[in-house]
């Protein structure tokens, strides 16, 4: 049984971190993040995900070139690449939602551990997906979903509220 020990302040303190120190997260922190990712809900409990933890500097550099917005990936100590399979699933159309839930759990867990991350979108862009597939030499059954560089932020990032009451409608 999982015991709740504290409130989820991470929802309100999470920021997008694109500037990292060289300090490597511990193996325990990485494992905790991966456990959080796999704790995410998925349609019919299909859990279509697999996670590639990339620490290799050359691979991180190559991954940073996949998108014109991903230059920061090369400076992160590591990145987690969320991949998915669509075959042999009960609800393949829900795979992006499943992977998005896993990505958000990664983000919130990283924040709770004092680490930073940001979502670098790969799917559904065919070029980006193809490049990540080549770089990581992914098995044919897997498709890359997103890249999440992870590390200690190189500077303090201040969270800001995104609450907009005008977007709420009570019926």
Average pLDDT over residues 89-107: 96
Within 13 A of 144's CA, how many CA atoms are on the CB side? 28
Average pLDDT over residues 40-49: 97
Q: Are 148 and 106 in contact (CB under 8 A)?
A: yes
Q: Name the percent of the chain lying above pLDDT 90.
A: 83
Residue 53's DSSP bridge partners are 80
Angle, CA of 49, 55 and 60, to the nearest 5°? 90
Q: In the block, which residue shows the tokens 């796999």?
A: 38
Q: What is the number of other CB atoms lying within 10 angstroms of the CB of residue 168? A: 7
Is the pLDDT reported for residue 134 higher than 80?
A: yes
Q: Name the percent of the chain lying above pLDDT 70.
A: 95
User: Distance between CA 87 and CA 92 in Å, rounded?
Assistant: 7
Q: What's residue 156's pLDDT?
A: 81
Positive or negative: CA dihedral 150, 41, 48, 66: negative
User: Distance between CA 29 and CA 109 in Å, rounded?
Assistant: 9
User: Distance between CA 40 and CA 33 in Å, rounded?
Assistant: 11
Asked whether the whole model's pTM tops 0.75, one would answer yes
- Name the architecture of domain 32-153: 3-Layer(aba) Sandwich (3.40)
Q: What's residue 2's pLDDT?
A: 57
The tens digit of pLDDT for each residue in 59-78 reads 999 999 999 999 999 999 99
Q: How far is CA 66 from CA 46, 62, 74, 113, 146, in A?
A: 28, 7, 11, 28, 11
């Amino acid at each position: 049984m999982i015991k709740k020990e504290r409130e989820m302040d991470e929802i309100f303190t999470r920021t997008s971190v694109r500037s990292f120190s060289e300090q490597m997260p511990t193996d325990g922190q990485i494992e905790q993040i991966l456990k959080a990712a796999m704790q995410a809900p998925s349609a019919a409990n299909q859990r279509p995900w697999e996670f590639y933890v990339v620490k290799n500097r050359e691979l991180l550099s190559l991954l940073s070139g996949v998108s014109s917005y991903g230059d920061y990936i090369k400076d992160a100590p590591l990145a987690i690449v969320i991949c998915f399979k669509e075959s042999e699933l009960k609800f393949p159309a829900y795979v992006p939602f499943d992977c998005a839930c896993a990505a958000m759990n990664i983000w919130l867990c990283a924040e709770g551990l004092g680490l930073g991350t940001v979502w670098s979108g790969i799917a559904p862009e065919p070029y980006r997906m193809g490049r990540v597939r080549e770089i990581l030499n992914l098995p044919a059954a897997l498709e890359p979903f997103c890249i999440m560089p992870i590390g200690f932020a190189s500077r303090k990032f201040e969270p800001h509220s995104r609450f907009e009451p005008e977007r709420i409608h009570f019926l």
